[in-house]
A and B are shown apart, each in its own frame.
Chain A
């Protein structure tokens, strides 16, 4: 508990020290980020300790409302998520000192004259450091909250500070728009979460989580509470169709903040949902599971399809976060279904899969955002079609990003595979269910998960192939340099974690045992029954996977292959690549990101709002001098959901606007009559 306080304190302190950064930039780079690193270490230590000992700690702080002290609690579930945040924060604090140099230079305001140096805009380092500190502290405090009041305060702290970070580079109108959208959705979401807590508080007779746990709800009311929570937390996590803000807001922030938002902040929303459904509501119903599973499947599939079609590399990563949230939701949904139908042993496996994937996604998404941040830092290009060949210019970054891509594409033996494998294993246990509907829906969801992971592999082949392989498409990219050691260290740490978490899944599951014990009163006993080498989620007969042996065999084959091949050392001759005899391959001949996805775009055409225009400049019949190709890929949720809602809100506002005459006497009359009405109602 002390460690957790220390972590929050360090985060806040880091924010405060950063106030001096506008005058002394070194303060931000050396003191604030060191404090942030300490905060991360503290969070990992606090979380790790709770997970190892499995105990719960509670405390009451004498602040807050007079009749409601701040209730805090650190249990295995919050400890696990605290450790996740800690890992990402450590990486960011290593990465930050190098990356912050980016913002020490003044940048030109867009849309102003070229030589007008007075229009230069200098982002405030103090704001960056302050809001980062508050943001991290807010996330940690959400995990510690043990009553709805502290929860909502910290939640809002997290939302508002991250809004300010999204709006950090507000010289671009697109960023201002994204930030506004984010603020709007964060508040709608928070409002709905508040209502969900309200239902529980109404029945439990208090705002503490303890009172809510003991509340007796009728099934209808608890379903309503769950629906509200799914909506509210789902909105923050980026559940389809409430995801529209996410791909706008996450890329707009500086890259290390994008990493925190995409890697960790949406995990806080998932924590909220787990806490609400598994802990506070308690009695799970299978229909909730089905709703979560369906939403998760749709989120995963649409998320990855939208990711695939993106050319902006940061937007692509944000959409891929939507996909991974879908996978986590699928695990949670499966867990609810199995637990509610009386098969807690399998429910535990599904819950483990969801928690494990949360951890994995936090690690590899943070890694990818940091890697992409390094690329953007050196090239100032976010468009995939302008990058290329970076493996030769930035070898270390390229290696780490490759590991991130392998992990996110769910390839063995990396960590993404282990958690998706667990999710699939849980889904395959459907024959135990009595309901025929569930028995046929769950395997379809599993097959769609397979489709999702195959498409994710395609997406990251595209990302890596277009950005890091091939030849540089622009001059700036051709002259990119490798980033500094601090940034490399951050990525190296996460890359190692990707491998380690994938190779010893049994260790992760051992760590997670107290969490399931706490939530479902059951340990995943079967999962590690054959020792650390074998992962056997249900029983050794049903399925087993041994990542350490896979790695060992892989290394052995690679080594044997290499030795055999280089035993006699037949020579290697370097020649120019074959250009089909036309002379001179240019970089424009390479497949672009747009071209790469064309077949998939055609197969899944109805998913996108595609606006494709080809203008031909024909000088003579059948002789084309120039071609102009325009492609705009839109998210259908905008046209199908948000724009009608937006129009309705505007129309309603116009109606209401009629009663505003701009005359103070009229307004006073309104107040008077309202007062009369209220008095009449009371009497």
Chain B
């Protein structure tokens, strides 16, 4: 009973850690990009300041906004937070990981997206509809690719529970599986698309021709905007943690003891910092692509994950 209680307490703490450090990751990526592009970098804590400023402001709401518009930010944030609570960040024995497996995780993202796109159509401006239309198009192509990549992993570990899968990969030791390589590439491409990064979307632009995600939040202000932005940061972190903890789970705590968790925190911080460097490099060397190139990009991701899956079926079924 005491064990269980510690477990649940830990799960809550870990979720708070997720939400608390997500802006840090975003600030770190922004800083790296600035350095790479020879610009003066903002402070590492700028995202926190932005959020605090937004939370303190008065809400400016369009006259014809309905209740759905006001509820949506809370639902978006809640869904993403739930998703975060199900992902093992620093330790594997996470009781909340059993609540939601990978498919439910994708479901939470879909729920958040559903409400966000609906809210963007509520006011009746052109940009909202445009953003919603583009967002659902990209998402509907990204989701199968993501699930396909995840299926490859879950078939290796014969489970869709993240904790169990990570445990399995740790237990198996360092085995080079070609299917994992393909799944990794595919998942990375999907993550780029889903979190609205270059080359699919540019998080730093408000140019109407290229906007995807930003167009859906144009009408939001103050605390609503803060919640949506924060949710976006957490989502980015979830994808980063998924990629680093599934493919390189080493260092993550296997028991809930203080030293193990401390090692886990350091390990995950190091992994995320490295991943951020990769992302910043990627975003610096690539340019944003045309909207109708995105399906090809995601089609490629789907193809990669398909190859990974077939490779698993053909080559690795004996393992």
Residues of A within 8 A of B (CB): 388-389, 391-392, 402, 406, 409-412, 417, 421, 424-425, 428, 430-431, 436, 439-440, 443-444, 446-448, 450-451, 453-455, 457-458, 461-462, 464-466, 469-471, 534, 540-546, 549-550, 553-554, 557-558, 561-562, 565, 570-579, 585, 587, 589-591, 595-600, 602-603
Contacts and interface: CB of A to CB of B under 8 A. Distances in A.
Contacts of B227: 561
Interface of B: 56-68, 74-75, 77-79, 81-82, 85, 98-101, 103-104, 106-108, 110-111, 113-114, 117-118, 121-126, 128-130, 132-134, 136-137, 139-141, 143-145, 147-148, 151, 154-155, 158-161, 164, 218-219, 222-223, 227, 291-292, 295, 302, 305-306, 309-310, 313-314, 317
Contact of B100 (A550, A572, A597): A550
A417 B108 CA distance: 11
B63 A591 contact: no
B130 A591 contact: yes
Contact of B125 (A392, A410, A589): A589
Contacts of B121: 461, 465-466, 469-470, 590-591
Given A470-B124, A571-B58, A577-B125, A436 B314 contact: yes
A447 B158 contact: no
B58 A550 contact: no
**Most chain-B CB neighbours within 10 Å: which of A425, A431, A543, A576?**
A543
B85 A430 contact: no
Contacts of A596: 129, 132-133
Contacts of B74: 557-558, 561-562, 565
Contacts of B104: 412, 417, 421, 545, 550
A541 to B, nearest CB: 6
A465 B69 CA distance: 11
A48 B295 CA distance: 48
Contacts of B125: 577-579, 585, 589-590
18 contacts: A388-B124, A421-B103, A440-B314, A447-B305, A454-B139, A457-B140, A458-B136, A541-B159, A541-B164, A542-B160, A545-B104, A557-B77, A565-B74, A572-B61, A577-B125, A578-B218, A590-B121, A590-B126
B82 A550 contact: yes
Contacts of B68: 391, 402, 469
B111 A575 contact: no
Contacts of A577: 62-64, 123-125, 219
A455 to B, nearest CB: 5
Nearest to A456: B140
A597 B154 CA distance: 33
Nearest to B219: A577
A470 B122 contact: yes
B313 A454 contact: no
A428 B160 contact: yes
A554 B115 CA distance: 14
A421 B108 CA distance: 13
Nearest to A539: B159
B46 to A, nearest CB: 22
Contact of A599 (B133, B154, B159, B310): B133
B147 A557 contact: no
B85 A553 contact: yes
Given A391-B66, A574-B63, A412 B159 contact: no
Contacts of B141: 451, 454, 603
Contact of B140 (A428, A444, A458, A557): A458
A595 B129 CA distance: 9
B134 A443 contact: no
B124 A469 contact: yes
Contacts of B78: 554, 557-558, 561
Contacts of A412: 100, 104, 107-108, 111
A481 to B, nearest CB: 17
A507 B24 CA distance: 43
Contacts of A443: 148, 151, 155, 309, 313
Contacts of B65: 574
A576 B148 contact: no
A428 B101 CA distance: 13
A570 B57 contact: yes
A399 to B, nearest CB: 9
A553 B56 CA distance: 26
B249 to A, nearest CB: 17
B129 A457 contact: no
A603 B296 CA distance: 9
A597 B137 CA distance: 8
A44 B11 CA distance: 42
A326 to B, nearest CB: 15
B63 A576 contact: yes
A337 to B, nearest CB: 15
A459 B158 CA distance: 33
Given A561-B77, A599-B137, A411 B114 contact: yes
Given A389-B124, A430-B155, A603-B141, A591 B133 contact: yes
B114 A557 contact: no
